[in-house]
């Protein structure tokens, strides 16, 4: 569809959704759909809830966030369950400012932006509809028109609780424009829009000397004072501060703790009493979610100052640490790259993974647990199986440090280094080694890394590099086998047949000749030796495998190539060991003969077709693995 018809459709949609009527008519809407009168916090919560919630390994996953925020499921669950949900139920937390605290580039702004954009869309749906007094700069809740003494009755009738009093401006308009006939006041449906400054506001601190409180709470309109005769006439006031504009929705308070104190004090009464002071007027009621964000050091210095106690007690702090899962970190990079102008560049398989391994390592803290190291921890966190540890260990690890993930390398740094690698290489294809090299070079110019950290980080680069070496070797070796999975499966089936016969003291039958034969000890040993199983331990190992198979059978599960971690490793190593010489000679030959050349082309084609390489990165990979195998 062309853009012009899209624009037209959009306009028609807006017209379709628009509604305007009297207060009396609005009450009819509330009869049918009382939820329309919900508070700002409740609307935010319902928006999150309506997007869907699922559960994965006992962890709640909120779909609202899950296609843009990766690896922060635990923080988000806490955020929803300890803030949004109780706030929606009018519990006291809704009166607190929500302060997201976390390291740089850890997704705080992304989270807040999602809420804002989400609300803009949600107010266009039936479930998220919002109505306001027409012509009010603060899009005041029409129910504020109901006089205090009738609210109890209204509650009994409609089941809707009304909070907050009618603003000075609308009090005056009611009298002058509507002759005090509340039922005639015009109400309209509104749609949140940050651009149009409806229901969504953003406040960011600037120079404290020049910044005016008017940015928050509006200001006197000097051009109209003469007309209305007095500064305290609300018509001579512009209710256009961020707090005014964000009424009914949310306000983002960027870098809140960098802000001058006088701004924060305004928030005190707003958060506690639900109203704020503007100009010379009675307190103005406001219903909005205030989300602020800050980093840890600023937060620490803020709470260490006694003067801030009152404000501190009105803040709910939620940690937004870095993601600690390698696979999710990869997704973060992939997302950031797809949103950037590097989107056309070929990024070889595993390039993002090694970068992610590096970043996550810099964020992890050394555990005191016996036999645990950072690499094992990294694997466990990412849901991999690590021998000798289970999910109980994982839970314990997660509890060991409260501030894990609050420091380390941030995603933005990684993306910057990837883009610098792309520029340097002058070819639109980069691989894992390019990325690691660039990450390392960048550490020299990284402003906020101490000397010790730098050393530690350089060490992590080598760890990531070693991981990559393993991955690269496996990748090439797999590509050398015509059908890797099939070969592995055949070899395993063969091994299992022999193990079974061995344990049951049976004979095997040769599939071709039908002849009976003894289990092939040589074959079994050649596999077991790959993972260091001694002659003495072989019997126990074989029996353990049979037990595992029967346990699987009992549960009706299929025992396959992935069911036994160590067996899989042994099979893989055995396959690779058989291949090693071929791979080594082929990949490192300076003057490959015809058959080697043919093999190389075949492998490159397989890497391109089946494993996501392009010819450049596949050639680079082969060369690298050749040099590794010849070391
Ligand atoms: N867990 C995450 N999931 C998805 N994207 C993330 C995550 N963490 C960081 N990012 C990405 O990193 C970039 C920086 O994130 P963002 O600007 O939200 O961080 P921030 O916490 O606000 O940082 P700052 O403190 O520097 O303002 C964004 O492109 C964001 O999408
Ligand atoms: Mg930010």
Pocket test for ligand 1, best of 105, 327, 417 (most atoms within 8 A of CB): 105
Confidence band (pLDDT; 50, 70, 90) for 280?
A: low
Integer Cα distance of 90 and 70 in angstroms: 30
Closest CA to 387 of 367, 399, 372, 369: 372
Report the C-alpha gap between 532 and 450 in whole angstroms.
42
Q: What is the mean pLDDT of residues 518-530?
A: 92
pLDDT at 105: 93
The closest-lying atom of ligand 1 relative to the alpha carbon of residue 323 is 1
Q: Say how far apart CA 359 and CA 332 lie, in whole Å.
A: 12
CA-proximal residue: ligand 1, atom 30 (nearest): 107
Q: Which residues crowd ion ligand 2, with CB under 5 Å?
A: 109
156-168: average pLDDT: 92
Give the Å distance between the CA of 411 and the centre of ligand 1: 7
Ligand 1 atom closest to the CA of 68, numbered from 1: 4
Alpha carbon nearest to ligand 1 atom 14, residue: 105
Q: Rounded distance, CA 162 to CA 141, Å?
A: 9
Q: How far, CA to CA in Å, does 607 sit from each of 254, 312, 346, 584, 611? A: 47, 57, 14, 17, 5
Give 222-251 pLDDT, tens digit per residue. 777 777 777 777 877 788 888 889 999 999
pLDDT at 303: 87
Strand residue runs (E) in 148-235: 186-190, 200-203, 219-220
Higher pLDDT, 53 or 512: 53
Cα 502 to middle of ligand 2, angstroms: 63
Nearest ligand 1 atom, CA 104: 25
Centroid of ligand 2 to alpha carbon of 111 (angstroms): 9
Question: For residue 246, with 0-12 CB atoms within 10 Å meaning exposed, 13-18 middle and 19 or more buried, which class applies?
Answer: buried
State the distance from the centre of ligand 1 to the C-alpha of 550, rounded, in angstroms: 48
Which DSSP symbol is given to 246? T
Whether residue 190 has pLDDT greater than 70: yes
The Å distance, Cα 73 to ligand 2 centre, comes to 19
Ligand 1, residue 411: give the atom nearest the CA.
12
Question: Under a CB-based contact definition with an 8 Å cutoff, are residues 282 and 234 in contact?
Answer: no
Residues facing 285 on adjacent strands: 275
Q: What would the pLDDT profile of 440-496 be if each residue is shown by its tens digit?
A: 999 988 877 888 899 999 999 999 999 999 999 989 888 888 777 788 888 898 999
Higher-pLDDT residue of 5 and 509 is 5
Q: Is the predicted pLDDT of residue 613 greater than 90, yes or no?
A: yes
The answer to whether residue 545 scores a pLDDT higher than 70 is yes
Distance CA 313, CA 320 (A): 20
What is the structure's pLDDT at 219? 77
Flag whether pLDDT at 94 surpasses 70: yes
Which element (helix H / strand E) includes 9?
A: helix 3-17
Pick the residue whose CA is nearest to atom 6 on ligand 1.
107
| Of 37, 39, 468, residue with least CA distance to 248 | 39
Please tell me the distance from the alpha carbon of residue 238 to that of residue 224, in angstroms, as a whole number.
10
Task: Return the pLDDT at 373.
Answer: 93
Q: 547 CA to middle of ligand 2, Å?
A: 54
Split at pLDDT 50, 70, 90, the class of 305 is confident
Q: Which atom of ligand 1 is nearest to the CA of 72?
A: 1
> Which range has the worst mean pLDDT, 53-62, 109-118, 278-287, 292-301?
278-287
**Residue 110: nearest ligand to its CA?**
1
| Distance of CA 68 from the midpoint of ligand 1 (Å) | 10
Q: Looking at residue 258, what is its pLDDT?
A: 82
Whether the predicted pLDDT of 102 surpasses 90:
yes
The CA-to-CA distance between both ends of the chain, in Å, stands at 58
Find, among 356, 361, 358, 360, the residue nearest to 333 by Cα: 356
Nearest CA residue ID for atom 23, ligand 1: 105
**What is the DSSP secondary-structure string of 552-573?**
HHHTTPPP-TTS-HHHHHHHHH
Q: Which protein residue has the closest C-alpha to ligand 1 atom 13?
A: 105
CA distances from 117 to 183, 200, 458 (A): 33, 9, 40
Residues 558, 574: Cα–Cα separation, whole Å:
23
pLDDT band at 626 (very low <50, low <70, confident <90, very high): confident
List the one residue out of 242, 281, 259, 378 whose CA is nearest residue 322.
378
Residues 412-437 have pLDDT tens digits of 999 999 999 988 887 788 999 999 99
Q: Whose CA is nearest to atom 4 of ligand 1?
A: 69
- Pairing of the two strands 130-133 and 186-190: antiparallel
CA of 107 to the centre of ligand 2 (A): 7
- Interval between CA 105 and ligand 2 midpoint (Å): 6
Between residues 25 and 276, the one the model is more confident about: 25
Residue 225: the pLDDT is: 74
Q: Which ligand is nearest to the Cα of residue 202, counting in written order?
A: 2
DSSP string, 277-310: --TTSS-EE---EEEEEE-HHHHHHHHH-GGGHH
Average pLDDT, the chain: 90
CB 54 within 8 A of CB 61: yes
- The answer on pLDDT for 214 being more than 90 is no
Q: Which of 67, 79, 109, 406 to mutate to test the pocket of ligand 1 (most atoms within 8 A of CB)?
A: 109
- The set of protein residues with a Cβ atom below 6 angstroms from ligand 1 is 68-72, 102, 104-110, 295, 323, 332, 336, 411-412
Ligand 1 atom 20: residue of nearest CA:
105
Question: Under a CB-based contact definition with an 8 Å cutoff, are residues 134 and 186 in contact?
Answer: yes
CB atoms within 10 A of CB 550: 11
Between the CA of 174 and the centroid of ligand 2 the distance, in Å, is 42
Q: How far is the CA of 412 from the centre of ligand 2 (A)?
A: 11
Point out the ligand nearest to the CA of residue 100. 1
């Amino acid at each position: 569809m062309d853009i012009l018809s899209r624009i037209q459709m959009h306009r028609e949609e807006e017209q379709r959704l628009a509604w305007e009527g009297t207060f009396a008519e609005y009450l009819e809407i509330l009869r049918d759909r009382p939820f329309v009168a919900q508070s700002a916090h409740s609307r935010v919560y319902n928006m999150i809830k309506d997007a869907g919630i699922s559960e994965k390994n006992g962890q709640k996953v909120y779909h609202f966030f899950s296609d843009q925020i990766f690896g922060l499921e635990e923080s988000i669950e806490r955020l929803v369950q300890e803030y949004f949900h109780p706030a929606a139920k009018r519990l006291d937390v809704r009166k607190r400012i929500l302060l997201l605290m976390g390291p740089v580039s850890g997704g705080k702004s992304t989270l807040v932006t999602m809420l804002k954009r989400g609300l803009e869309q949600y107010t266009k749906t039936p479930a998220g509809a919002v109505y306001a007094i027409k012509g009010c700069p603060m899009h005041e809740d029409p129910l504020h028109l109901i006089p205090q003494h009738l609210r109890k009755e209204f509650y009994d009738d409609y089941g809707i609780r009304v909070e907050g009093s009618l603003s000075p401006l609308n009090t005056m308009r009611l009298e002058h424009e509507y002759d005090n006939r509340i039922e005639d006041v015009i109400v309209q449906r509104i749609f949140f829009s940050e651009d149009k400054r409806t229901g969504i506001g953003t406040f960011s601190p600037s120079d404290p000397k020049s910044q005016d409180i008017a940015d928050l709470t509006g200001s006197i309109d000097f051009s109209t004072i003469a007309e209305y005769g007095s500064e305290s006439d609300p018509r001579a006031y512009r209710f256009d501060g961020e707090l005014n504009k964000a009424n009914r929705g949310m306000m983002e308070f960027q870098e809140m703790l960098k802000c001058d104190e006088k701004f924060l004090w305004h928030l005190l009464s707003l958060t506690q009493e639900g109203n704020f002071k503007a100009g010379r007027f009675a307190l103005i009621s406001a219903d909005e979610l205030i989300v602020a964000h800050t980093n840890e050091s600023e937060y620490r210095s803020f709470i260490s100052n006694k003067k801030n106690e009152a404000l501190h007690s009105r803040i709910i702090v939620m940690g937004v640490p870095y993601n600690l899962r390698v696979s999710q970190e990869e997704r973060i990079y992939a997302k950031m790259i797809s949103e950037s102008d590097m989107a056309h560049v070929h990024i070889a398989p595993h390039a993002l993974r090694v970068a992610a391994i590096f970043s996550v390592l810099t964020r992890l803290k050394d555990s005191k647990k016996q036999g645990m190291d950072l690499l094992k921890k990294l694997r466990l966190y990412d849901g991999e199986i690590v021998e000798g540890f289970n999910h109980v260990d994982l839970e314990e690890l997660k509890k060991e440090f409260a501030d894990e993930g609050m420091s380390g390398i941030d995603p933005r740094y990684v993306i910057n280094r990837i883009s610098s690698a792309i520029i340097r290489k002058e070819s639109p294809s980069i691989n894992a080694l390019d990325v690691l090299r660039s990450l390392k070079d960048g550490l020299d110019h990284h402003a906020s890394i101490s000397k010790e950290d730098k050393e530690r980080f350089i060490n992590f680069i080598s760890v990531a590099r070693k991981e990559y070496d393993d991955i690269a070797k496996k990748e090439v070796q797999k590509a050398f086998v015509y059908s890797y999975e099939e070969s592995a499966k055949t070899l395993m089936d063969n091994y299992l047949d022999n193990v079974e016969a061995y344990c049951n003291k049976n004979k095997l039958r040769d599939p071709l000749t039908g002849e009976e034969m003894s289990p092939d000890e040589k074959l079994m040993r050649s596999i077991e030796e790959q993972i260091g199983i001694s002659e003495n331990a072989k019997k126990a190992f074989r029996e353990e495998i049979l037990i595992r198979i029967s346990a699987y059978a009992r549960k009706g599960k299929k025992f396959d190539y992935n069911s036994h971690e160590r067996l899989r490793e042994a099979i893989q190593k055995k396959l690779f060991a058989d291949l090693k010489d071929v791979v080594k000679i082929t990949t490192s030959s300076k003057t490959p003969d015809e058959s080697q050349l043919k093999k190389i082309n075949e492998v490159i084609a397989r890497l391109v077709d089946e494993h996501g390489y392009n010819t450049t990165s596949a050639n680079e990979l082969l060369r690298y693995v050749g040099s590794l195998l010849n070391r």
